[in-house]
Amino acid sequence: MKRRNFLLGSMSGLAAASFAPTTLLASCAPKKEKKNETPLNICFQEGIPIGESLNEKLDYMESLGVTGLEVGGRGLAGRVDEIKNALQGRNIKLGAICAGFDGFILAEDGQKDAFDKSMREILEAAGKLGSCGVIMVPAFNGQNPCKPHTMDTRNYLCEQLHELGEFAVQCGTTVILEPLNRNECFYMRLVADAAAICRDSDSAGVKCMGDFWHMQEETSDYAAFMAAGTKYLQHVHIASRGRRKTPIEDGEKDDYRDGMRALKEMGYPGFISYECGCDGDKATILPQSVELLRKQWEEA
Ligand code: MG
């Protein structure tokens, strides 16, 4: 009886399927490729654009359609009005703030207090300026005296970052961890490393970034950005991939499409910010470089 009911049930299921031709046909039809709408938001660090004054630099950036400005953190509290005024009425927003603090968070001496004080001052100024966050490295390889690379130190780092992240949230901004490579910072050299520290710090104010230059040790730019996702990925740096010059100056090496594909698929809302030198004439190179990024973004 039970078996008969089961068979009848199966039969009616088949019958239902055979009378649902539109559903079946729809699944066989070629899928329409949905165009990705994620915009490319290009940002320049303050030293990148042509111009003497900040206003001249911003004029130049507007002429290239660059919509983000990244400034250094040193002395930021004294620049809040200057930067606010310069950005007024422009289609340029402040992106991230690049470091600029004293000391470092894993220091075993007075450099830790110097870090705490100066970083909090920068975070307050960053919040007033509407910045997405202040970039930091917990300790470069050469910084001493530094806590040893142990599990206790990682736990300590997460606790300290939790406190700092909560302070950043109160200020309306975030702390952004920048992974480097093993020659510069051996314990945080992959975007996924930084994202895991964000997760374990358990604060909405602790985020991470990827820098196409430092991402030399990643096996996949795509996987690196995907590991962070929009939950943790707050900023991106870019440079040419051979010598850290302007993207385009290292020719075929300057292919960012694998990483860009991830950024597009995840709907990354942040900036890709130029942090690089320039070997050639900026007036020629910068417009070509921005054009290259737009082309690769389209192709990614
Ligand atoms: Mg960088």
Average of per-residue pLDDT values in the chain: 92
Q: Identify whether the C-beta of residue 265 lies closer than 8 Å to the C-beta of residue 36.
A: yes
What pLDDT, on the 0 to 100 scale, is given for residue 14?
Answer: 45
Domains of the chain (ranges, CATH numbers): 46-299 (3.20.20.150)
What pLDDT, on the 0 to 100 scale, is given for residue 240?
Answer: 98
In this predicted structure, the answer to whether residue 1 has a pLDDT above a threshold of 90 is: no
Alpha carbon of 53 to ligand 1 centroid (Å): 24
Q: Which two tokens stand for residue 35?
A: 């165009």
Alpha carbon of 54 to ligand 1 centroid (Å): 21
DSSP-derived secondary structure for 184-198: T-TTS-SHHHHHHHH
Alpha carbon of 211 to ligand 1 centroid (Å): 5
Q: How far is the C-alpha of 112 from the C-alpha of 106, rounded, in Å?
A: 7
Across the range 130-134, mean pLDDT stands at 98
Percentage of residues of the chain with pLDDT beyond 70: 89
H/E segment holding residue 299: helix 282-299
Q: Identify whether the C-beta of residue 136 lies closer than 8 Å to the C-beta of residue 175.
A: yes
In this predicted structure, the answer to whether residue 177 has a pLDDT above a threshold of 60 is: yes
Which candidate, 294, 293, 295, 300, places its Cα nearest to that of 247? 293
Across the range 6-20, mean pLDDT stands at 45
Which candidate, 73, 93, 89, 45, places its Cα nearest to that of 135? 73
Alpha carbon of 20 to ligand 1 centroid (Å): 55
Q: Which two tokens stand for residue 136?
A: 């930091």
Q: Tell me the per-residue pLDDT of 182-199, one tens digit each, with 9 for 90 and over.
A: 999 988 999 999 999 999
Q: Identify whether the C-beta of residue 55 lies closer than 8 Å to the C-beta of residue 88.
A: no
Q: Tell me the per-residue pLDDT of 261-273, one tens digit each, with 9 for 90 and over.
A: 999 999 999 999 9
Alpha carbon of 71 to ligand 1 centroid (Å): 12
